[in-house]
Amino acid sequence: MFNQLIVGCAERVLSQGQGALSAEEACRLARLPEEETLDLIACAHKITRATTSKQLILCSIVNAKSGFCTEDCAFCAQSAHHQTDIPRYELEPEEVMVEAARERHQAGANHYSMVTSGLMPTEREMATICRAARRIVDETDLKVCSSLGTLTAEKARQLKENGVTEYHHNLETARSFFDQICTTHAYDDDIETVKSAKAAGLRVCSGGILGLGESWEQRVELACTLRELDVDCIPLNFLNPIPGTRMEKRPLLPPMEALKCIALFRFINPEKNILVCGGREVTLKDFQSWIFYAGANGLLVGNYLTTQGRDIQTDREMIRDFGLQAAI
């Protein structure tokens, strides 16, 4: 017998769509005991089937500039406040970013993002990224994205004019927990970047990292903030603790808790794309294919910024086995 609270909420989401659940109702779902998680996942799957395409988003990234970041985000291996052994380098040349796009396109990705460390790109860096974006649009069928830190209205306009269609900027966590994670910039700076990107006509990809020590209520808070901002895509990452960061001793989320997080975000944002990204291999282990039951309709494939991902062909096989296919 299915839990009637979950069924009732799912039916309302299916009939009313985005905004059907209040934050208080979502918190009631979040507080349900572990034995109710499978019911939550099953209903999230029903919502996903009704609201999203069977064609999955397969996003890939290139770490176009690594390390030296002035921000003190507690989880980040690229922060200059941490002592980690990651590679550190300035912005890659245009040709390197274009060639990486060609490789990922050939491997089966349909989205490609150039990602840089640091608070905001310089004018010279913007010029290089824009030239690379224009070439990638001209030479491949990839949808071109970027993740360059905080963004002004002018920089957002430049990206749009050069073929970038989507801007990625995570809020990372709930406003009420943000000062436990980052103290070198304000939460409102990130909110304004999302708004600037949207105002320029870019689709916005914004989510966070789960497992930083936040409460279930704060996970709901983040999901509701993203709903209020009307972002187009929500990437969910799971903390993969990196030695040398302030989060190095935090335990991984249990697989079923991670899946419950995905389901909860689907209930709160039924009409949005939800991608599962960094940390999925170490957190979900043999449960990776369950992300599609839990509410995801896309994933980040290949390597991440400073950690190794799974072979793209292995993910494509998983997708085929699940009866889904990548978007063209």
Q: Is the pLDDT of residue 16 over 90?
A: yes
- Classify residue 121: in a domain, yes or no: yes
pLDDT at 305 over 80: no
282-317 burial by CB neighbour count: b if 16+ within 10 A, else e? Answer: ebbeebbebbbbbbbbbbbbbbbbbeebeebeebbe
- The CATH number of whichever domain residue 263 belongs to comes to 3.20.20.70
CB 84 within 8 A of CB 245: yes
Average model confidence (pLDDT) for the chain?
Answer: 92
pLDDT digits (tens, 9 = 90+) for 25-71: 999 999 999 999 999 999 999 999 999 887 888 888 889 998 789 99
**φ and ψ at residue 79, rounded to 5 degrees:** -70, 135
Residue in 43, 15, 31 with CA at minimum distance from that of residue 218? 31
Q: Which residue has the higher pLDDT, 66 or 249?
A: 249
- Find the mean pLDDT for residues 288-309: 82
pTM across the whole model: 0.94
> What is the pLDDT, as a whole number, of residue 328?
56
Distance CA 253, CA 65 (A): 29
Domain that holds residue 169: 55-326
Domain annotation covers residue 130: yes
Query: 131 pLDDT exceeds 80?
Result: yes
Residue 61 tokens, joined? 């990234």
Is residue 266 pLDDT above 70, yes or no? yes
What average pLDDT score do residues 256-269 get? 98
Total structural domains within the chain:
1
In the structure, what pLDDT confidence band is assigned to residue 250 with cuts at 50, 70 and 90?
very high
pLDDT reported for residue 303 = 61
Strand partners of residue 125: none
Percentage of the chain modeled with pLDDT above 90? 78
pLDDT in tens, 85-125: 888 889 999 999 999 999 988 888 888 999 999 889 999 99
Residue 87 located in a structural domain: yes
Report if residue 117 sits inside a domain.
Answer: yes
Give yes or no for residue 321 having a pLDDT over 90.
Answer: no
Checking if the pLDDT of 306 tops 60, the result is no
Between 302 and 249, the higher pLDDT residue: 249
pLDDT category at 307 given cuts 50, 70, 90 is low
Q: Is the pLDDT of residue 312 over 80?
A: no
Per-residue pLDDT reduced to its tens digit, 155-177: 999 999 999 999 999 999 999 99
Q: Which residue has the higher pLDDT, 61 or 129?
A: 129
What is the Cα–Cα distance from 195 to 230, expressed in whole angstroms?
10
Domain annotation covers residue 175: yes
Flag the least confident range among 54-63, 179-188, 290-299. Answer: 54-63
Q: What sign does the dihedral 44-45-48-50 (CA atoms) show?
A: negative
